[in-house]
Chain A
Amino acid sequence: MSGEPLWAIFVNASLINNFVLAYFLGLCPFLGVSGKLATASRMGGAVTFVMLVSSVCAFGIQRALVAIDAPYLRLISFIAVIASTVQLVEMFVKKVSPELFRQLGIFLPLITTNCAILGLALFQTNKGYDFVECLVYALGAGAGFTLALVLMAGLREKLELASLPDVVRGAALSLVLAGILSITFMGFAGLGS
């Protein structure tokens, strides 16, 4: 138990300490998949889903590791379990809902190496959240990731039409945009306290 109210955990994870814009987690998909609005929102949904699943797993592993007194195995078991869970989820979704599977497409396997997922597992352990708080934290982090991704995609779709010198095209432009978004999100500081 950390004593924080649940809504504060949610607001904290999604807005104030946004995973992408404040912690720089999950930048690869953030810059890679934010070209189109439709893909961005789907990717956000997939990440949120995986976050929820892996948050539950990480909670269980942490309990088990504390029980056998082996904290040095934490990182290895987190990454192994998260990677295999994503694989499992992928197979499950493919079987149960081929429609959803087609929509998520290549994103599901890519999420395994997304630092936001492992980061979430590590942060929730460091903060000592209980089960419900972990779920809310994962939901908030996923919502924040989706929000950042969708905002970015919207901006980039508009910029497609602008005339720009060749030098700024590509990663540099996306980074400047991300910086401006990051400043914007700083306005939320102090909201949850």
Chain B
Amino acid sequence: MSDESVPTPGTDEFVKGLWRENPVFVQVLGMCPALAVSNTARNALAMGLATLFVLVGSNLVVSSLRHFVPRQVRIATYILVIATFVTVVDYAIQAISLDLHKALGAFISLIVVNCLILGRAEAFASRNHVGTALLDALGMGTGFVLALLSLGAVREILGSGSLFGVPLFHEGFQGWVVMILPAGGFFTLAGWLLLFNWLRERRATRLAALEPVGATGGGR
């Protein structure tokens, strides 16, 4: 196979998903679940872990099947593989905690259409060894969990003054109701994106300032 990439040192496959190619904050993928269930940190964590499991499972299967699946039907195959894992997760969560299942609702099933998972299956797992695909899935999944957790934590702290159900402020704290509502999800994600944009821009400016005169390629 010519499209087989050389197995790279595994750490990079893992680390890139955490920050440099973070699925939510950098690639802006898989936002539907990220915003819909991140109104408390607990829901966000559960959703993140469920997605992580599906991502790892489907990446493993897709990667091991990559020589057997004809190109024409690959997307359909991936979707069926993903749907199988999502059904597993759905029933597992229902068995572990009915409350959680009620809180997440149909959004567990909707992991199927999370562009992140299909994206990784198509762009990475179908072209790489099982081991590399596993590391990639773990990294991307962990990045997704972290992103969801940072959204959920902000919304829960501001919206109800607690974290994982533990109250943080004294009793007089009035929650910002808007943070719990759908609009809060949009605003929180927008806030994080702005922060990262600003950090990136500041870093770029500093790097440009550090470079010797004449080496910079125009633009500013």
Q: Which residues of A are at the interface with B, using a C-beta cutoff of 8 A?
A: 21-28, 31, 72, 75-76, 79-80, 83-84, 113-115, 118-119, 122-123, 126, 166-168, 170-173, 175-176, 178-180, 182-183, 186
Q: How far is the CA of A165 from the CA of B137 in the complex (A)?
A: 35
Size band of the interface chain B makes with A: 35 or more
Verify A75–B79 contact, CB threshold 8 A. Answer: no
Q: How far is the CA of A113 from the CA of B112 in the complex (A)?
A: 9
Q: How far is the CA of A173 from the CA of B190 in the complex (A)?
A: 7
Verify A183–B178 contact, CB threshold 8 A. Answer: yes
**Quick one: which of A115, A175, A182, A186 contacts B189, CB cutoff 8 A?**
A175
B164 in contact (CB, < 8 A): no
Q: List which B39-90 residues lie within 8 A (CB) of chain A.
A: 76, 79-80, 83-84, 86-87, 90
Q: Known: A76-B80, A175-B193. Contact between A166 and B109, CB under 8 A?
A: no
Q: How far is the CA of A175 from the CA of B2 in the complex (A)?
A: 41
Verify A172–B178 contact, CB threshold 8 A. Answer: no
Verify B79–A186 contact, CB threshold 8 A. Answer: no
**Quick one: which of B91, B187, B189, B197 contacts A167, CB cutoff 8 A?**
B197
**Quick one: which of A24, A80, A168 contacts B31, CB cutoff 8 A?**
A24
Q: Which residues of B contact A180 (CB under 8 A)?
A: 183
Verify B80–A80 contact, CB threshold 8 A. Answer: yes
Verify A28–B186 contact, CB threshold 8 A. Answer: no
Q: Which residues of B contact A76 (CB under 8 A)?
A: 80, 83-84, 87
Q: Given known contacts A80-B76, A118-B109, A126-B106, what 14 new A-B pairs fall within 8 Å (CB)?
A: A23-B36, A24-B185, A25-B32, A26-B32, A27-B32, A28-B31, A28-B115, A75-B90, A79-B83, A80-B79, A80-B80, A113-B118, A179-B186, A179-B190
